[in-house]
Amino acid sequence: MVLRSYSLTERPDLEHGVEPLFAATWPQFVLHDPVAGRYWSRVVEEFSDHHVGLVDEPAGELVGVGYSIPFVWDGTAAGLPAGWQAVVTEAIADHDQGHTATAVAALSITVAPSRQGRGLSRLVLLGLRHAARDHGFATLLAPVRPNHKCHYPLTPMERYVDWKLPDGAPFDPWLRTHWRFGARSCGICPGSMVITAPVAAWEEWTGMAFPDSGDYVVPGALVPVSIDRERDTGRYVEPNVWMRHALADQSH
């Protein structure tokens, strides 16, 4: 396996391979995020030099992809956006209003299911770090979606992030990857992603039936989904964890 990283400005053709990669990797409900539905095409097209595609050469197979976007941050924890949806919305507004960005937000990193467990997500994250540094930014922030939290949906995120391995590293593998780059938590964003849809949509996305109102544990969700049969709505409020990467040292 020979891997090479490209910006999506260098290789815009790689974007054609992203949709099947997303579909094979992410829970269906995540792909129906309303903010992504409104802004994702702009994120892709207008900030392509902040996106990274990882290609297995010489076959040219896209095996990983990462997206990031510059935004205005005042450097304080209190000044951080409310999460994933908020940082996308604010970054687009900053861009449209001609404001000078001060940091970069990593929005997503996706690795092909057949290539997971080989450290490729670390390589994509490294690519996003390098892209941010090359554009003159000293900080990369990420509203991290801990990848093992879905196994513990009833545990509050505030408790989950405190779980540690014997060496002090985070229990969660994806948080641990960021931590080993030197990133540290800036706090929980409790409403990072909010998805509200009719019950039938949730049943289609999850392959489950929701006969009654209440909270349901569904595959891939970090917290339960709240179903209200009377109002015909399912509501999912996902917490993430802000991790801050200082880019002064890019030795790894």
Q: Please name the residues in contact with 20: beta carbons below 8 A apart, sequence gap of 6 or more.
A: none
Q: Where are the beta strands (DSSP E) in the chain?
A: 2-7, 52-57, 61-71, 103-111, 139-144, 184-197, 214-216, 225-228, 233-246
pTM of this structure: 0.94
Q: Domains of the chain by range and CATH?
A: 2-246 (3.40.630.30)
Which two three-digit tokens encode residue 17? Answer: 């391979």
The band of 252, judged by pLDDT with boundaries at 50, 70 and 90, is low
Query: What confidence tens digit (pLDDT) does each residue in 73-99 have?
Result: 999 999 999 999 999 999 999 999 999
Residue type, 131: A
User: In terms of Cα–Cα distance, which of 190, 184, 180, 164 is closest to 245?
Assistant: 184
The band of 50, judged by pLDDT with boundaries at 50, 70 and 90, is very high
CB-based contact 193:83 (threshold 8 Å)? yes
Question: Strands 103-111 and 61-71: what pairing?
Answer: antiparallel
3-state secondary structure of 125: helix
CB-based contact 135:70 (threshold 8 Å)? yes
The band of 1, judged by pLDDT with boundaries at 50, 70 and 90, is confident
Q: pLDDT averaged over the chain?
A: 96
User: In terms of Cα–Cα distance, which of 13, 4, 26, 9 is closest to 126?
Assistant: 4
Place of tokens 């129906």: 32
Query: What confidence tens digit (pLDDT) does each residue in 167-194 have?
Result: 999 999 999 999 999 999 999 999 999 9
First-to-last alpha carbon distance for the chain, in angstroms, is 21
The band of 249, judged by pLDDT with boundaries at 50, 70 and 90, is low
Query: What confidence tens digit (pLDDT) does each residue in 132-147 have?
Result: 999 999 999 999 999 9
User: In terms of Cα–Cα distance, which of 19, 8, 32 is closest to 194?
Assistant: 32
Paired residues of 236 in beta bridges: 195
Evaluate if residue 251 carries a pLDDT over 60: no
Question: Strands 52-57 and 61-71: what pairing?
Answer: antiparallel
* pLDDT at residue 250, rounded to an integer: 52
Q: Please name the residues in contact with 29: beta carbons below 8 A apart, sequence gap of 6 or more.
A: 195, 197, 202, 205, 206, 218, 220, 221, 225, 236
Evaluate if residue 57 carries a pLDDT over 80: yes
The band of 248, judged by pLDDT with boundaries at 50, 70 and 90, is confident
Which two three-digit tokens encode residue 192? Answer: 């990072």
Paired residues of 103 in beta bridges: 71
Place of tokens 């209190």: 78
